[in-house]
Amino acid sequence: MNPSQHADSLGRLEDLPADYIAQMHALSIAPLWPQLRGLLPRGKPVRATQPFVWQYKDVRPQLMRAGELTPIEKAERRVLVLCNPGHGVDKLIATPTIYVGLQLILPGEVAPNHRHTPSAVRFVVEGSGGFTTVDGEKCPMHKGDLILTPAGLWHEHGHEGTGPVVWLDALDLPMVYAMEASYAIEGPSQIARPGLDASQTRYQRAGLVPYESLSLNARAAYPQIRYPWPDVRAALISLEKATAPGAAVQLAYVNPETGQPCLPTLGFSAQLLRQGEDFSPRRRSASSVVHVIEGHGQSEIDGVSLHWSEGDTLAVPTHAQVTHRAQNGQAFLFHVDDAPMQRALGFYQEF
């Protein structure tokens, strides 16, 4: 912790005798009161995270260049990390809790099998022929698909098609790393089970689950691994017709057996932004990352105006005031937020 000090009526470090400060520091102790307002600012947290947009037209050429410069064997994961400028390029964070990278895999390449303590998802940005095998389940990767690689599950990526495949990685890595609990184990390539992509096939329609899953001891922690985009898109278009003007046309990706967010730490949702409508959700304590699936538009985040189009990714700080607006037609957004971990910690708020 390195909280900034604030002018206040509380005692300052300089108010104390130098020998007393030296004695305390030699014993690895420190007084709280000079730092109290930094640790617990009044009313609202202090945020270093900036509202920001990474434009795909800027990042993509850099990613393709990585494809030329760095063979997959030298990278394991060929990823360019989206670093929030409020935190610099060393911290590798988009928001305090969310790591986001763009990963490139070229035809015939393999990103070898491993598993780790952070949980991850992939959201496919472009290309076809890519696949991820998760705990023996081989999932095809089509544009807009969401694929989970939860904590502890083996995962490896490959590419059986032509042309580059790019996806967005979102991980709860910053939190797990801060807990000094982040590590990975490498393993031999998985043997994919027959029954390609079975988990999404079993949960084709909301409200219907395989009968045998009702017996509690059969319940898997992660029953669905892939959420295909065409289904989500069609569901959003249906939902729009049943949603009042100004209300969110937004669907959360959940565990179909429990209805709870599909990962314990991060939440994922897809939103249809109606043409010509200013969408202003309630201010909330969660930070988030927004990826543009389709369309273009503009967002105001804490007074910062950001223009976006397909493939772009935005950072939204905690407690931010947000307005999104699609331009020249509707737009589709993918949201990653840290609301599940804030709820688990007991302080998630909407204002």
Please work out the total of residues on this chain that contact ligand GTQ, with binding judged by CB under 6 A. Answer: 10
Strand (E) or helix (H) holding 68: helix 56-69
Q: Which one, 148 or 306, has the nearer CB to ligand GTQ?
A: 148
State how far the Cα of 168 lies from the Cα of 299, in Å rounded to an integer.
20
Binding ligand GTQ (rule: CB under 6 A), the pick from 53, 59, 63, 79 is: 79
Q: Locate 127 and state its tokens.
A: 């290309």
Strands (DSSP E) contained in 142-266 are 146-149, 155-159, 165-171, 184-186, 226-227, 249-252
State how far the Cα of 78 lies from the Cα of 84, in Å rounded to an integer.
19
Q: Does 103 bind ligand GTQ (CB under 6 A)?
A: yes
Closest distance to ligand GTQ from the beta carbon of 246 (Å): 36
Binding ligand GTQ (rule: CB under 6 A), the pick from 169, 257, 312, 337 is: 169
Q: Does 318 bind ligand GTQ (CB under 6 A)?
A: no
Q: Which one, 19 or 73, has the nearer CB to ligand GTQ?
A: 73
* Listed residue (278, 210, 224, 288) closest to 256, CA to CA: 224
State how far the Cα of 30 lies from the Cα of 39, in Å rounded to an integer.
14
State how far the Cα of 202 lies from the Cα of 256, in Å rounded to an integer.
10
Q: Which one, 111 or 339, has the nearer CB to ligand GTQ?
A: 111
Closest distance to ligand GTQ from the beta carbon of 327 (Å): 31
Q: Does 91 bind ligand GTQ (CB under 6 A)?
A: no
Closest distance to ligand GTQ from the beta carbon of 118 (Å): 7
Q: Which one, 167 or 253, has the nearer CB to ligand GTQ?
A: 167
Residues 6+ positions from 194 with CB-CB distance below 8 Å = none
Closest distance to ligand GTQ from the beta carbon of 184 (Å): 6
| 8 A C-beta contact, residue 114 and residue 156 | yes
Footprint on residues 111-140 left by ligand GTQ (CB under 6 A): 111, 116, 120
State how far the Cα of 351 lies from the Cα of 342, in Å rounded to an integer.
15
Binding ligand GTQ (rule: CB under 6 A), the pick from 51, 96, 101, 150 is: 101
Q: Which one, 186 or 278, has the nearer CB to ligand GTQ?
A: 186
Q: Which one, 169 or 338, has the nearer CB to ligand GTQ?
A: 169
Q: Which one, 155 or 335, has the nearer CB to ligand GTQ?
A: 155
Q: Does 77 bind ligand GTQ (CB under 6 A)?
A: yes
Q: Does 297 bind ligand GTQ (CB under 6 A)?
A: no
With CB atoms as reference, the residue minimizing the distance to ligand GTQ is 169
Q: Is 211 helix (H, G, I), strand (E, B) or coil?
A: helix
For the chain, the first-to-last Cα distance in angstroms comes to: 27
Closest distance to ligand GTQ from the beta carbon of 169 (Å): 3
* Listed residue (88, 123, 149, 106) closest to 311, CA to CA: 123
* Listed residue (94, 87, 97) closest to 59, CA to CA: 94
* Listed residue (49, 148, 33) closest to 98, CA to CA: 49
Closest distance to ligand GTQ from the beta carbon of 139 (Å): 13
| 8 A C-beta contact, residue 306 and residue 296 | no
Q: Which one, 102 or 249, has the nearer CB to ligand GTQ?
A: 102
Closest distance to ligand GTQ from the beta carbon of 175 (Å): 14
State how far the Cα of 128 lies from the Cα of 125, in Å rounded to an integer.
10
Q: Which one, 82 or 236, has the nearer CB to ligand GTQ?
A: 82
What are residue 155's DSSP bridge partners?
Answer: 114, 134
Closest distance to ligand GTQ from the beta carbon of 15 (Å): 46
Closest distance to ligand GTQ from the beta carbon of 146 (Å): 14
**Interface residue list for ligand GTQ (CB under 6 A):** 77, 79, 101, 103, 111, 116, 120, 155, 169, 171
